[in-house]
Amino acid sequence: MGTPDTKQVKRRVKRLSQADNTWRWIYQIDVSKPLAFVDLSHSVISLVLSPEANERYLHWMKRHYGRLANLLRVVMVLMYCSWFMPPHIGLIVAIPLFVTGFPPVLAASSLLNRELIRQLCFQFEFWYATCLNALTWSLFAVVLGDLRALSCSILFAFTQLVISLDANFRTMTTSIRTTFLWIPSTVCVSTYCAMEALRIQPSDGPMRWRVFNLLVNVCLTLAILIMNKTYKRRRLYYKDFAYTKIVPCAIYRSRIVLSRWTQPKGRMKVMKRGQSQEPLAIVTFDSLHRAVVRHLSTDLNQQIRLVPFKRSLFDSRRTIIPKYSPITTLSVWLCLVIYGMCFLGLAHACMSVVFLIRSNGDLSRRDVADSSINSLIFTTLFCIPFVCSYQKHLVQKLLRNFDYWFSSLQFAVGSVLLSDLCQWTLWCVSIISWNLWFQWVLMMDALTPIVKKRLRFRKCYAVPVTAAILVNAIGTLYLTSAPGTTIFHSTEDSTS
């Protein structure tokens, strides 16, 4: 009996070989350039130690790092507890906890792989999580306002190690166990801060409420991000996966592209596409998540490898609504009409924010309502041909992606809260159009290259849309925080 992957290849061959020219419509996922090689011996500590001393240090850490990790867990619990102690007691234990928690963090940092850290520095998600981490513990230090803020530096360093865990393959499983303690503790502290924000009186000033509000939002966002990265590494604890000695990366991303599938000469050659000709570690998963490793190299110089997808071939003809998908390249005049609606929709959405800023947040103005309605009409008309042309299976992959839902839900929840603050006036129609633009940017990867060519579309066209979304967010933030804004009570004044 063949493996599940072989059965999938056989069924795929039968389905895709019904016509001789079917291969012309098929695209496959591929990396845009060869993945990097990493020397596993290049750790941070190897910069200052000789090869012999570095080897002795690694052996010592292998024997004693478990004790250091247990020490860090105890220190973390005591740090969180010190925040709820009376200030005079918390100040007494602050310095001993800082001194005790510093060695485990320093030991884990010394084992980071330099080359993988260099690769992570080119990842957007790494810097996004790093900024969230720095902002979270800086706000905690501001809230504490005394010597207990020293504990925030240890917690920041540990969280940064979790974010950089792709580069610390030697202590990955131990660090993840510590993360299981970090996540509930941080969520509980965030919940307590949210309860404290509800008790803040107007006499305390608006700044204290804003600090607590920002702290809760940023901390919960960071906790959700860490939970997702921890969940992605769950296979480390499967017994059959542990024997393979393969480390999954959760932050490091390779740039993948859709390339045209090369025409097969026969069925046997098509079936051999699922088999590797190179002596590399090939990992495939069946329904029981068993890992099969062939030709695993023991060399210290290892290449980063891409885990095979469950579906790697995509038929560009299988769109959402094939009847309304372009079958030939659109004429220049039709493209002018489509992208003209794009310009008008984006321009009216921006004007609705500009009109609000000029009127100091007056939601009852007629020009604000007109520009909001026009933006939704033109944006919807522009998005319809793109939605019809999305490839079905690529859409399914995006809908199963955490990053898509993480960004979409954040934008949607912010839009609902902003609409509620504005009392669901006509300007909220403009907020709907901004959500459509945001989804259009996120779903751009669901367009196959041949469909992009027919729509005369390039990815660089999304740059002004993304810039407009960012400028709109900044303008909306100014409207909601400006001292003399009337955006929250202009509707009440007009109806009274």
pLDDT tens, position by position, 430-460 = 899 999 999 999 999 889 888 888 889 988 8
More confident residue, 375 or 37: 375
Flag whether pLDDT at 280 surpasses 70.
no
Flag whether pLDDT at 42 surpasses 80.
yes
- The predicted pLDDT at position 362 comes to 67
Least confident of 116-125, 158-167, 243-252, 330-339: 243-252
Average pLDDT over residues 462-487: 78
Q: Is 444 exposed, middle or buried (0-12, 13-18, 19+ CB in 10 A)?
A: middle
3 state SS of 260: strand
Flag whether pLDDT at 235 surpasses 80.
no
Query: How far apart are alpha carbons 291 and 473 in whole angstroms?
Result: 45
Query: How far apart are alpha carbons 407 and 216 in whole angstroms?
Result: 18
Average pLDDT over residues 283-291: 31
- The predicted pLDDT at position 240 comes to 54
Split at pLDDT 50, 70, 90, the class of 234 is confident
Torsion sign, CA atoms 371, 373, 379, 381:
negative
Split at pLDDT 50, 70, 90, the class of 382 is very high
- The predicted pLDDT at position 7 comes to 44
Flag whether pLDDT at 125 surpasses 70.
yes
- The predicted pLDDT at position 252 comes to 83
- The predicted pLDDT at position 15 comes to 47
More confident residue, 331 or 39: 331
> In this structure, are residues 286 and 61 in contact, taking their beta carbons and an 8 Å threshold?
no
Average pLDDT over residues 169-186: 86
Flag whether pLDDT at 283 surpasses 50.
no
Q: Percent of the chain scored above 90 by pLDDT?
A: 22
Least confident of 144-158, 187-201, 214-228, 341-355: 187-201
Query: How far apart are alpha carbons 274 and 420 in whole angstroms?
Result: 52
> In this structure, are residues 389 and 455 in contact, taking their beta carbons and an 8 Å threshold?
yes
- The predicted pLDDT at position 347 comes to 92
Split at pLDDT 50, 70, 90, the class of 199 is confident
- The predicted pLDDT at position 160 comes to 93
Flag whether pLDDT at 217 surpasses 50.
yes
This prediction's pTM: 0.77
Torsion sign, CA atoms 371, 374, 378, 379:
positive
pLDDT tens for 416-426 read 888 887 778 88
Of the candidates 292, 108, 76, the residue with the CA atom closest to the CA atom of residue 180: 76
Flag whether pLDDT at 308 surpasses 70.
no
Q: Tell me what the pLDDT averaged over the chain comes to.
A: 79
More confident residue, 108 or 146: 108
- Show me where the domains of the chain are located: 4-35+273-315, 45-242, 322-495
Flag whether pLDDT at 342 surpasses 50.
yes
Flag whether pLDDT at 263 surpasses 80.
no
